[in-house]
Amino acid sequence: MGIIDRFRIENAVQTYDFWLELRGMRSRRRKEARRELRTNLRDAAADVGVTQALFNIGSPKELAYAMTPEATQRPRWSLGAMWASLAFVVVVFGLMYTASTFTSGVDASGVVGQQVTGFVFPWFGVDFMARRRQMPGDFRAAHHMAAIGAKHLDEPPEQRLHRFAKLGTIDLRIDYLRPGIGSHFELRAEVLRLGSRVATTRMEFLGADGKLLSSGAAAYIVS
C-alpha cells in the first residue's frame, strides 16, 4: 500500500474520530473505534482497493452517528479555543489599527508639544494618547520663504504671498545623527541655490554644545 492510500485511510479515520468526539464519545472508546475502522479499511483495501473500501463504508459522519444513536452533540473545546484565539487576534488588531489612526489624526492636526487624549468608538473605557514633538525639519520651509521674499522685494506683498502658496517639495532628506535631548538648540539653514523654478537648501540642527544632531537637504518648486 502506497503513501497516498495510507493517507486516504487515515483521513477517513480522523474524520470519523472528529464526529465521534463531537457526539460525546469518550477518548478510550474512540481509540478502539479508530483502531477497528483502520483495520477494517486496510483489510478491505487489500481485497478490493482503497477507493472501493472507502466507498463501502460511506460517509464517516453518518458512520459516527450510527455508532452513537443516543448521543447528543457537545461543545468541542479545541474548536472553542481556536475561535477564542481568533477573536483575540481580531481585537488586538483593531486596537492597534485604531491607535495608529488616532496618532495619524493628531499628527495631521498640527498640534505640537501637547499630549492629546481621546476616546474612540467602540473601545469603551480605553483612552488613546498621542504627542507630536517638534522635529528639526519643521523649520525647513521658513528660510525658503525668506529668500523668495528677499528676491522679490520690488513686488507688492500680496503677490509675494501668492508665491508662497505655490511652494512645493520636490525632494527631502533628513539624517538623524544623535538624540535631541536638552532645552536649547540651534537651527541653521542655507539656501544653496534659488532659481526661477527650483530652490535647493541645506539645514542643520545643533545642540547647546554645538554637536550636530541632524542635518537635512531639500529641493523645492518655487515661482
**What values do phi and psi take at 215, rounded to 5?**
-140, 155
Q: What is the mean pLDDT of the chain?
A: 79
Domain locations in the chain as residue ranges: 3-67, 77-131, 136-221
What integer pLDDT is reported at residue 105 of this predicted model?
77
- Mean pLDDT, consecutive 10-residue segments, the chain of 223 residues? 86 88 82 90 88 88 82 63 88 84 74 71 73 54 60 68 70 87 82 80 87 89 72
Task: Count CA atoms within 13 Å of residue 58 on its CB side.
Answer: 6
Task: Provide, rounded to the nearest whole percent, the portion of the chain with pLDDT above 70.
Answer: 78
What integer pLDDT is reported at residue 87 of this predicted model?
92
**What values do phi and psi take at 124, rounded to 5?**
-65, 130
Q: How far apart are CA 202 and CA 219, in angstroms?
A: 9
What integer pLDDT is reported at residue 74 of this predicted model?
57
What integer pLDDT is reported at residue 111 of this predicted model?
63
Contact 222, 198 (CB under 8 A): yes
| CATH of region 136-221, choose from 3.90.100.10, 3.30.160.60, 3.10.129.10, 1.10.3720.10 | 3.10.129.10
